[in-house]
Homo-oligomer: A and B are copies of this chain.
Amino acid sequence: MSTVKQPSRIQQRNRAAILASGLDAFSQSGFRGATLEQIAAAAGMSKPNLIYYFPSKEAIHITLLTELLDTWLAPLRAMGPSDDPISEILKYAQSKLTLSRDYPRESRLFANEILQGAPHLANTMDALKTLVDEKALLIQGWVDAGKIVAIDPHHLIFSIWSLTQHYADFDVQVRAVLANDDPYPGAVEHIDRVFRRLLATD
């Protein structure tokens, strides 16, 4: 007989504000480097007030990570059977690149977590493997049908991840090398070329 109470407007607003400034803080300074004081101030409230909405610093971090993971894997989930597998894979790669461009903080939050050994994602790793294995099978089917070049599907997926996330995670370095020009127009074209040439059957 548990009547689940829906959160008030204040609850919604403040939880959202906390998550927003938490994302800022964690992606910029890492879990350890971010402080409750800092997050609370950025969300326009006091530290005890923040703790009224989230029981601990870790709770904010975990909430962010799990919400993020959904967005992050959506394009991979969306990849499915197709008569034109090269376009299907290119679509995935470009979606991922768009995520890097539009959600760089999320990308860095995730990168930080993996770098530290994914202490808060240990569970989720199993589900990730299941999803990737499933998509690897799909890709293997395309290989077997001779529609794309013979290639290791897992390493293909790693390539898509690394090439796209690099522009968000190593943003400082990329911009330093490019004299602060916007890297994305060039990246879109480059990634298209890489996977088109990699996957084409001759």
Which residues does A use to contact B, with CB under 8 Å? 28-33, 108, 111-112, 114-118, 125-126, 128-129, 132-133, 149, 151-152, 154-159, 161-163, 165-167, 169-170, 172-174, 176-179, 183, 186-187, 189-190, 193-194, 197-198, 200
16 inter-chain pairs at a CB distance below 8 angstroms, sorted by A residue, are A29-B32, A30-B32, A32-B33, A108-B115, A111-B111, A111-B169, A118-B172, A129-B176, A129-B179, A132-B177, A133-B177, A149-B193, A154-B178, A158-B190, A197-B198, A197-B200
Cα(A151)–Cα(B31), bound, Å: 39
Closest residue of chain B to A149 (Cβ to Cβ) is B197
Cα(A128)–Cα(B170), bound, Å: 14
- State the number of copies, please: 2
Cα(A197)–Cα(B151), bound, Å: 12
Cα(A157)–Cα(B112), bound, Å: 23
Among B28, B32, B154, B174, point to the contact of A177 (Cβ < 8 A): B154
